[in-house]
Amino acid sequence: MNAVAMPAPASTRARGESLWRKAARKFGRDRYGMLALCIVLLYALAALGVWLGWWAGGWGDLTGTKWEPVSRLHWFGTNIIGQDIFDRAIYSTATAFEVGLIVALVSTAIGAVLGAFAGFFAGSLIDELLLWCMGVLDAIPFYLFVAAVAYALTGNPWAMHIAMIATFWVGTGRLIRGEVIKLRGMEYIEAAHSIGVSEVTIIFRHILPNTSHILLVQASITFVSAIKAEVILSFLGIGIKDGMSWGLMIDESTKEVLAGFYNNFLAASLLMFGLVMAFNTVADALQDALDPRKVG
C-alpha cells in the first residue's frame, strides 16, 4: 500500500500529474519566484517575532535623543522624539502582515462564496442582486469610500480593515463568477445533479475547490493591495490608530524630510518596498505556475 501512495518520481512526469503538483514543480524551477518566497518568509519571521514578543517590543519607548545617526545601539538611528527607528520599522512589519493577512483571507473568502453563488445561479435574481452590489461598490471611488467607512465606524479599530474587505472582494467575486459559469456546464456537475446532490453541496464540494488556484493568486494580489492601501490611509489619518505602521512612519517622516533627516523615511519605504516587491514576484510566479496553458 505504501508504495502505491508514494508520489511518482519526477522523471516520469506522469500524465495524471495534479495541477498543484505540477505548479509546485514549475514554481520550484522559477529562480526569482523562489528567491522572492524566501524574502517573504524572512519578513514573516520578523512579524512572528513581534507577535511572540521576541523583539521590537520597545518601539514606543524613548531610548535616545532627537535624530541620532545610525549606531550600534540604534541600527537605523532615532526619530524626531528619540524613538528607535529599527524597532519601529520591524514592529510595522507585523502590522503590515496583520492587515494584509486579515484583508486578503476575509475578502477572498467572501469573493469566493458570493462569486460562486452569482455564477452558479447566473441570470437569476440572486445573480442580479450580487452584480448590483458589485456595481455599486465599484462606482464609489475607493479612498472616499474608505474615508466614509472610517468615519461611520469612528472608534472602531477595524474600520480600515472592514472598508478594504468591503471593496476588495469585488474583484475576486467577478473572477470567480466567470469561472463558475464555465464550470457549472461541465459533465461532472451534471452528474452530481442527477444523483441528487444539493445545490449548496455542489457549490462548496464540487465547484469552489476547482477555483482554488484563482483564489490563491487573488489572495496574494489582495495582500499587496492591502499593504499599499494601509500606508496611504494611515498617512491620510484614517488607517492604523493604535500601534505603528509604515504609513504612520512615513507620515511622521514628511516633516523630517523637509529638515533633511531621511532615516525614518528610508527605513519605512525600503522595508515596505522589499516586502511588496517580493510578494508581487511571488504572485507572478504563482500565476505562471498555476496557469495550465503554460507548459513547464
Partner 1 sequence: MEILQYALRKLLAGLPLILGVTLVSFALMVYFGPDMTYSLLGKNPTPEQILEVRHQLGYDQPFLQRYLEFLREIATLDFGNASTGEPVTALLAKTIPVSLILILPGFILGHVVGLLLALAAAYWRGRWPDKLIMAVAVIGMSVSFLIVIIAFQIVLSSSDGLDLFPVRGWNASSLGSYLTYVTVPTLATMFVALGYETRFYRSVIVEEMTRDHVRTARAFGLPESRIFLRNILKNCLIPFITRIMFSIPQVAIGGALLIESYFGIPGVGKATYEAIVTGDQPVLKAVVSLTAILFVLVVVLNDILYRAVDPRVTLQ
| Contact footprint for partner 1 (CB under 8 A) | 132-133, 135-145, 147-149, 151-154, 228, 231-232, 235-236, 247, 250, 253-254, 257-258, 260, 262, 265, 269, 272-273, 276-277, 280-281, 284
Q: Taking the complex as a whole, how short is the minimal distance between the CB of residue 71 and partner 1, in angstroms?
A: 22
Q: How far is the CB of 99 from partner 1 (least distance, A)?
A: 14
Nearer to partner 1, 172 or 225 (CB): 225
Minimum Å distance from CB 139 to partner 1? 4
User: Minimal distance in Å, beta carbon 60 to partner 1?
Assistant: 23
b/e 251-268 (16+ beta carbons within 10 angstroms → b): bbbeebeeeebebbbebb
Dihedral, CA atoms, 98, 168, 283, 246, nearest 10 degrees? -40
| Residue whose C-alpha cell is 512526469 | 13
Q: Which is nearer to partner 1, 118 or 202 (CB)?
A: 118
Closer by beta carbon to partner 1, 18 or else 156: 156
Q: Give me the least distance between CB of 167 and partner 1, in Å please.
A: 11
Q: Which is nearer to partner 1, 134 or 203 (CB)?
A: 134
By beta-carbon proximity to partner 1, the closer residue of 89 and 192 is 89
Nearer residue to partner 1 within complex by CB, 6 or 258: 258
- The SS3 call for residue 83 is strand
CA dist 285 to 30, 190, 226, 290, Å? 7, 34, 20, 9
CB 118 within 8 A of CB 129: no
Buried b (16+ CB within 10 A) or exposed e, 22-40: bbeebbeebeebeebbebb
Instruction: For residues 47 and 56, give the distance between their C-alpha atoms in angstroms, rounded to a whole number.
Output: 10
Task: Quote the least distance from Cβ 225 to partner 1, whole Å.
Answer: 11
Nearest by Cα to 188 from 209, 160, 162: 209
- 71 contacts 53 by C-beta, under 8 angstroms: no
